[in-house]
Amino acid sequence: MTRALAFYLPQFHPVPENDQWWGPGFTEWTNTVKARPLFRRHVQPHLPADLGFYDLRVPETRHAQGELAQEYGIEAFVYWHYWFGRGKRILERPFAEVLASREPSTGFALAWANQTWSGIWHGAADKVLLEQTYPGPEDDQAHFDTVLPAFRDDRYLRVDDRPVFYVFRPEELPDPAAWVDRWQAMARKAGLPGLYLVAEVSDLLGAGPRFVDVDAAGFDSGAYMRIPARRSPRDVLRMRAGRKLLHRPEIYPHAADFGGLPSGISDRLQPVVYPNWDNTPRSGRRGLAITGSTPEVFARHVEQAAATLADRPAQERLLWVKSWNEWAEGNYLEPDQEFGRGWLDALRTGLRAHAPQLEVSRG
C-alpha cells in the first residue's frame, strides 16, 4: 500500500513577526484573496469551500482537516517546522497544540524548513526577515530536544519504528554527513532506534537537482520535488515571449504525465506530486503559473508516481504530496470553490488505481 503524506503549512494564524513585516492580521489568506488574473484564462483567486477561511488556532478546524485527510487516504500531515538556530522559531503554535491536545488523531511528521526568510515573495529579495543559522552541535542538541516529544508520540510517522524527519535544504547544511551522524546518535541516545531522515532533492524546472549526495551523506531517502511543468522548446520560447512582450508571469502547461524519477542520484528516491502550481498570489508577475491543471491529470500523476514505489519495502512506499494547504502557491488538496473535493477525490482515485486493495471509507 502506498503511504500518502501531505505537506502542511501552518501560516494560517497571525504572529507578531508577520504583523510587523506585512501588516496587522497577515496570514496566508492575505495573499490568497488579493490574487487577480494576470493573463487570459488565468484562474485567480482560488478560494476555499468546505473549511472556509480558517484560523489554525481553532481546534475544530484542525479536527476537520484531520478527518478529511483520513477519509481520502492521507496517512500523515508533514508539518513545516521552523528552527532558525539558537532557539528562534516561528509559526509553531498549531503543531504544538496538535501535540499537546492529542487531536486530531491523524498521523504526522515534521519537515525542517531550514531556509532564510526574505522578502523575495514580495519583490524585496534583499530584505532578510529571519536568517537561517547553524551554530553547531550544541544547537543541534537543543533542536533535537525540542522535537523529541513529537518523535515519541504514537501518531508520529515511522519507517520500521524510526521517526521520519524531512530536511528541506540539505545542501545548505554546513556538513550534511556530520549533521546526519549527530542526529542519528542523539536519537539512539534518547532510546529511539534511530531516525528515518529524508533529504529534499529539488529540481527547479530542469535546472538540475540542488542536492545529489543523498547516499553519501547518509540520508535514508530523498524526496524528488519538481514542479510539473511541460517545458518543450516551444513552451520555453512561448514563455519567454510572454514575459518580454506582455509582461506576464512565467507560464508553462501542466505536464501530462508524472515523468518518473531521475537516475544517478540515489536508488532510494521517493516521488513528490503536485495538484497544481501558481505562486502569483505571492509574487505577482514575478511568479510562476502552471496552466491546465485538473483533478483528472493529478489522479494520473498520483497513479504513476505510486507505481515507482511498487518494488520498495512496504514501510518505505512514501508518496509525498505538495501540499495539503499551500493556497498562495496554488498547490492544495483542501476543497475549493472550483472543484469542490475534486483534488481529494483525485488523490484517492490515483491511490486506488495503483492499489485496488486500498479501501478508504467515507464513513
- Between the CA of residue 352 and those of 41, 42, 258, 275, 359, what are the distances in Å? 32, 31, 17, 17, 8
- Parent domain of 253: 3-354
pLDDT in tens, 274-329: 999 999 999 999 999 999 999 999 999 999 999 999 999 999 999 999 999 999 99
User: Per the confidence metrics, is the pTM higher than 0.85?
Assistant: yes
Mean confidence (pLDDT) of the chain: 95
Contact 252, 228 (CB under 8 A): no
Tell whether the model's pLDDT for residue 363 goes beyond 50. no
Position with higher pLDDT, 126 vs 67 = 67
Instruction: Tell me how far apart the alpha carbons of residues 71 and 4 are, in angstroms, rounded to a whole number.
Output: 12
Contact 156, 163 (CB under 8 A): yes
> Residue type for 46, please?
H
Domain contains 360: no
pLDDT band at 25 (very low <50, low <70, confident <90, very high): very high
Which grid cell sits at 337?
A: 470553490
- Between the CA of residue 129 and those of 36, 90, 94, 143, 215, what are the distances in Å? 26, 12, 21, 21, 33
The H or E element that residue 74 is part of is strand 74-81
Domain contains 247: yes
Instruction: Tell me how far apart the alpha carbons of residues 103 and 155 are, in angstroms, rounded to a whole number.
Output: 10
pLDDT band at 127 (very low <50, low <70, confident <90, very high): confident
Domain contains 262: yes
Helix ranges, 85-198 (H): 93-101, 137-152, 176-189
Contact 224, 309 (CB under 8 A): no
Domain of 181, CATH number, reads: 3.20.20.80
Contact 275, 222 (CB under 8 A): no
Domain contains 362: no
Confidence at residue 284, expressed as pLDDT on a 0 to 100 scale: 95
Tell whether the model's pLDDT for residue 356 goes beyond 50. no
Instruction: Tell me how far apart the alpha carbons of residues 213 and 29 are, in angstroms, rounded to a whole number.
Output: 37
Confidence at residue 122, expressed as pLDDT on a 0 to 100 scale: 56
- Nearest CA-CA partner of 36 in 249, 350, 315: 249
Position with higher pLDDT, 121 vs 20 = 20
Q: Which residues contact 81 (CB under 8 A, 6 or more apart)?
A: 92, 95, 110, 111, 112, 113, 147
> Residue type for 129, please?
L
pLDDT in tens, 175-231: 999 999 999 999 999 999 999 999 999 998 878 899 999 999 999 999 999 999 999
pLDDT in tens, 58-83: 999 999 999 999 999 999 999 999 99
- Nearest CA-CA partner of 281 in 337, 330, 351: 330
- Nearest CA-CA partner of 330 in 81, 77, 46, 69: 46
What is the SS3 assignment for 113?
coil
Domain count, the chain: 1
Domain contains 363: no
Confidence at residue 205, expressed as pLDDT on a 0 to 100 scale: 84
pLDDT in tens, 227-260: 999 999 999 999 999 999 999 999 999 999 999 9
